[in-house]
Amino acid sequence: MSEVPHDLIRRIQISTRNVAGLSGYDPGDPPRPALPCPPLPCPPLPSLSATIASLEPSPPYLRCSHCKRRLLRGLQSFICVYCGNPHQNDVPPDPIFFNSTIGYQWLLQSLQLDGSV
């Protein structure tokens, strides 16, 4: 089993402190007096939901109206997978182009048309 090179570790610590401009540490030195520091008022922390909402990169309309988490399927989401609440769609879904449906093809065939203009 190899021995830990304590002397080498100590020399590296001393040289690192010297390069950083820090004084050396001697455990035998008496402790320095603490600097007087006035107590600073701690600002109020935001709520958890506000913090989560600020971390989400998605725009607000792509988030759940209840928990503010991202909707996995965007506007196509019916429920939020995080809280289970139904998604309220204020924005109408994308339109379905009738020309690309089977119903359109059936209509053209029934009228004996080929779809050319």
In a domain, 14, yes or no: no
Asked whether residue 37 is domain-assigned, the answer is no
Nearest CA-CA partner of 59 in 68, 46, 50, 48: 68
Report yes or no on 70 lying in a domain: yes
- Position 23 in a domain: no
What pLDDT, on a 0 to 100 scale, did the predictor assign at position 90?
Answer: 58
Sequential pLDDT tens for the chain (117 residues): 578 788 888 888 888 888 887 776 666 667 777 767 667 777 888 887 677 767 777 788 888 888 878 888 887 888 888 888 887 765 566 677 888 888 888 888 898 887 676
17 falls within a domain: no
The pLDDT value recorded for residue 35 is 67
**Angstrom distance (rounded) from CA 17 to CA 27:** 15
In the numeric block, the tokens 């320095």 are attached to 32
For residue 93, is it within any domain? yes
Quickly list DSSP for 92-109: PPPPPPGGGSHHHHHHHH
The tokens describing 80, both together, are: 């939020």
pLDDT at position 18:
83
Which run of H or of E encompasses 10?
helix 6-20
pLDDT for res 117: 62
6 found inside a domain: no
Residue 56 falls inside a structural domain: yes
Q: Count the neighbouring beta carbons within 10 Å of the beta carbon of residue 82.
A: 15
| Tally of domains within the chain | 1
Domain span holding position 61: 48-112
Query: How far, in Å, CA of 76 to CA of 58, rounded?
Result: 15
